[in-house]
Amino acid sequence: SLSATNRTGTLQTAAQPNITSTGNLTLPGSLTITNGSSPFTCTNTTLSSTVVCTIQNSGGAIDIGSSTSHQVAIKTANTRRLTLYAFGNVDVVAHNGSTVGLKLGGTLVTATAADLNGISVTPGTVSASKPVVIDSSKNVTGLGRLNLTSSDATVMTGTTNASSFGLNILSTVATNGQYNICAIGFRNAVADGVAHSVILCERKSSTTAYLVFLNQGASNISECMRILSTGGCCVNAAPIAQLSVGGSASYVDGSYQRLLDLQSNNVSPIEFTVEVNSGANTTTTNTTFLVNITNIDLRFGVNNNTKMILDTNGRLGIGTTSPEKFLHVNGTVSNTFNVGGCLYSQTTSTASTFSQLGPVTVSVSAMFSGPIECLSIYCTSDRRAKENIERLDESYCDNFFKADVYMYNYIGSKETIPKIGFIAQDISKLGYMNLLTLTPNDNMKKVNDDDVEGAQMNIDYNKITAINFLMIKKLMRQIEELESEVNRLTI
- The pLDDT tens digits of the residues spanning 316-353 come to 999 999 999 999 999 988 766 554 444 445 545 455 44
Give the whole-number percent of the chain exceeding pLDDT 90.
35
Quick one: pLDDT at residue 47?
72
pLDDT level of residue 166 (50, 70, 90 thresholds): confident
With cut-offs at 50, 70 and 90, classify the pLDDT of residue 192. Answer: confident
**Mean predicted confidence (pLDDT) in 118-127:** 77
The pLDDT assigned to 344 comes to: 47
Answer whether residue 119 shows pLDDT above 80: no
**Contact indicator for 427, 459 with CB cutoff of 8 Å:** yes
Residue 484: its pLDDT value, please? 93
Mean pLDDT value across the chain: 83
pLDDT in tens, 367-400: 787 788 888 888 888 999 999 999 999 888 889 9
Task: Please return the burial class of 396, using the count of CB atoms within 10 Å of its CB with bins 0-12, 13-18 and 19+.
Answer: buried
Q: What is the pLDDT of residue 225?
A: 94
* pLDDT given for residue 20 in this prediction: 53
Q: Does pLDDT of 10 surpass 60?
A: no
Task: Give the lowest-confidence range in 15-19, 305-309, 410-414, 415-419.
Answer: 15-19
pLDDT of residue 13: 59
pLDDT for 195:
84
pLDDT digits (tens, 9 = 90+) for 58-71: 888 888 888 888 88
Q: CA 341: distance to chain centroid?
A: 55
Specify the pLDDT at position 22: 52
